[in-house]
Structure 1
Amino acid sequence: MKPTRILVSLATLAGLVIASPHVTSDANITQPVPAESEAAASYISAADIIEYGQPNRLALQSGVAMIVDDREGVMLYGRNIERQRPIASLTKLMTALVILESGLSLDEPVKVTREDRDRLRGTKSRLGFNGVFTRHDLLYAALGASDNRAAAALARTYPGGEDAMFRAMNAKAQQLGMTQTRFVDSSGLHNGNVSTANDLVRLVNETHKHELIQTMTTTPSFRVTDRNTGRQVAFRNTNRLVHRHSWDIALSKTGYTAAAGNCLIMQTTIAERPLTIVLLNSWGKLSRYGDARRIQQWLEKAERRVPPIVTASASTT
């Protein structure tokens, strides 16, 4: 093995962020996901993707972007990852995390009231006033369909009410090391809900520990039941990529307000490489999905650019 290859391998094993000209190296990435020995034998390292893939040429339309190789804990690409921005409905991941960790019964019926309506932006909901839904179904509507009324009802019925809920959300953010993150509501309608791409990677890693959140954020369509009337309410996932068989998505959340722009965070696998992708402030209605596709194409091409001798050397390391 050449000496340069030894240095790269040691850096990778240490979980360091190896930077290219457009990759910010000060990201605080959490511990990498351990790789199975057989998969690792043929796995192209993140260092090689950065070296041969030329991420500086990746042209994305999102103002903030971050791509992390979850297996190694290495950032493959970063743009403005410490820029604090409104995060819109990405907020709902923290809402769900706090609810699940509170120990509240998910089977408990919760009545939706006029207190839960969106007074800030006037968004609509398929959940009618006086409808009764389990906390589980409200979580589903909030995560999968990004329903703001569902998120408001979850916060209102949290022990101690909304203020206690917001304190719990901020306390959890601090616990996770999300130092640039603040929450002032449970839905993300308020522009005071802010974070950074680097902080959001921490949130995604934490929510990924909950299989229920994985399921609720990636199910293409689902129904919830009004316990008062027995009527079922149909929803579709707001992330159009989960409706496509060409994408392997383990967790996702969309968001949009005028201040936040279009936002998308996902844990997905591309070319057998598990990734966390954060896209913020994408102004075109479809540009966040276009960016996701550009990332997919870039990574597939990057792996093909790695010389066979490098891949073979990595296999015998």
Structure 2
Amino acid sequence: MKKLLLCLSFLVLSFPLQAGTSLIDQLDQLDSESIRLGSISAAVVEIESGEVLYLKNGGSVRPVASITKLMTAMVVLDADQPLDEKLTITRADRDLLKNTYSRVRFGSRLSRRELLLIALMSSENRAASALGRHYPGGKEGFVEAMNAKAASLGMLRTRFVDATGLSPGNVSTAGDLVKMVRAASGYPMISEFTTQADHVARFENPSYSLSYVNSNVLVRRGSWDIALSKTGYINEAGRCLVMLTEVDGRQVAMVMLDSYGKWTPIGDAGRIKRWINTGESGTIAGAALRYEQSKSGQDMQTLAGG
């Protein structure tokens, strides 16, 4: 029987596709053994059907860095606070965890709408912090709302501790993040802001302007049909990327967590797309492959240790 199944799989994967179709048109033809990604955890789901096309360490709980800001945005919009209200960036918004740099000056004022835009598009941490701080109940109330929202979405292995994602205490799984991507895509403003290529923010008190670009190079290039995007990075999380993109007319959620270097999640996105279209993902760069093998080995040791 095993030999028969192998033969059938070979015949299915070898049979030429009809013109104008890809493997995603025939989901049962996708072979998870034919895809290799550099990301330590990953999930690929066809949104309309809910079909899980690929899962790699999908239940492994990991820091998610600025992917957190998708939840931040949903909580802000759910609160229905005035989007035109000007909020002030203060020293309470400085990063005391990672000491990351921000060009936004203390005392600057910007509308809630634009703070949301630069937090999502360019991952501006002071903007995300200010949004949480100006929530009813302050930062504590905001984090409570984030976790309540996650629970309502069935993200049972997810926990948030801040609005920025700078804390490694913001954790989730690839499987849970698919749920968050799906939910976030239902907010037109989040879809719009995460797929905007660039923006010039004009601050008040003092008056100055800052130019921002999307942190996802695939959005900036404009060669992909992307409906939602968010990048993330801290040392503990590695490079992370989530996207909702169209492949041959179907919406596909891609989640990639803990990759080596800023280009590996971009490369993994390309490998996923290639795998969906051709059945083969292609190769991984040597440094990224060594990182993946090393981290996978650490995961196995952790599991063995209980």
CA distance in 1, matches of 2:219, 2:186: 19
Of the structure 1 ranges 82-91 and 121-130, higher mean CA displacement relative to structure 2 is found in 121-130
State the percentage of identical aligned residues. 44
**Counterparts of 2:199 and 2:43 in 1: how far apart (Å)?**
30
Cα distance between partner residues in 1 of 2:43 and 2:165:
21
Do the aligned residues in 1 keep the contact of 2:195 with 2:227 (CA within 8 Å)? yes
Please report how far the alpha carbon of residue 44 of structure 1 lies from its aligned counterpart in structure 2 after TM superposition.
Answer: 6.6
Alpha-carbon contact 1:50-1:76 (below 8 Å) kept: no
Distance 1:272 1:300 in 2: 12
Per the normalisation by structure 1, the TM-score is 0.79
Q: Report the counterpart of residue 200 of structure 1 in structure 2.
A: 177
Show CA shifts across 1:45-65 (max 9, x none): 8583342x3231111000001
Tell me which residue corresponds to 1:264: 241
Picking from 131, 150, 155, the partner of 1:154 is 131
Structure 1 residue runs without a partner (length 5+) = 1-19, 21-41, 304-317
The equivalences for 1:26-105 within 5 A come to: 48-51=26-29, 53-105=30-82
Q: Deviations over 1:283-310 (max 9, x none)?
A: 232111111111111112149xxxxxxx
Find out whether 1:120 has 2:97 as its counterpart.
Answer: yes
String of CA shifts for 1:88-112, please: whole Å, max 9, x gaps.
Answer: 0000000010000001111111010
Aligned 8 A contact 1:217 1:251 in 2: yes
Per-residue deviation at 1:271?
2.1
Match of 1:131 in 2: 108
Q: Which moved more, 1:224-233 or 1:153-162?
A: 224-233
State the AA in 1 paired with 2:27. Answer: I
Residue 215 of structure 2 aligns to a residue in which SS? coil
Q: Give the aligned CA root-mean-square deviation in angstroms.
A: 1.8
State the 1:230 CA deviation: 3.9
CA contact (8 A) 2:24 2:277 kept: no
Which residue in the other structure is 2:272 paired with?
295
Give 1:23's aligned residue. none
Distance in 2 between the 1:45 and 1:209 partners? 27
Q: Matches of 1:105 and 1:268 in 2, distance apart?
A: 30
Q: Which amino acid aligns with 1:94?
A: M
Q: Distance in 2 between matches of 1:243 and 1:284?
A: 18
- Contact 1:271/1:299 (8 A) holds in 2: no
Counterpart amino acid of 2:80? G
> Gaps spanning 5+ residues in structure 2: where?
1-8, 10-19, 281-306
Residues 172-211 of structure 1 correspond to what in structure 2 (within 5 A)? 172-211=149-188
> Which residue number corresponds to residue 14 of structure 2?
none
Select which of 228, 231, 239 maps to 2:208: 231
Q: Which one-letter code corresponds to 2:200 in the other structure? A: R
Aligned-partner Cα distance in 2 for 1:269–1:126:
34
Q: Is the 8 A contact 2:64 2:172 kept in 1?
A: yes
Query: Which runs of structure 1 show a deviation greater than 6 angstroms over 4 or more consecutive aligned residues?
Result: 42-45
For normalisation by structure 2, the TM-score amounts to 0.82
Secondary structure of 2:55's aligned partner: strand
Give the drift of 1:224. Answer: 1.5
Name the count of aligned residue pairs. Answer: 262
Change (3 A) 1:43 1:293: closer
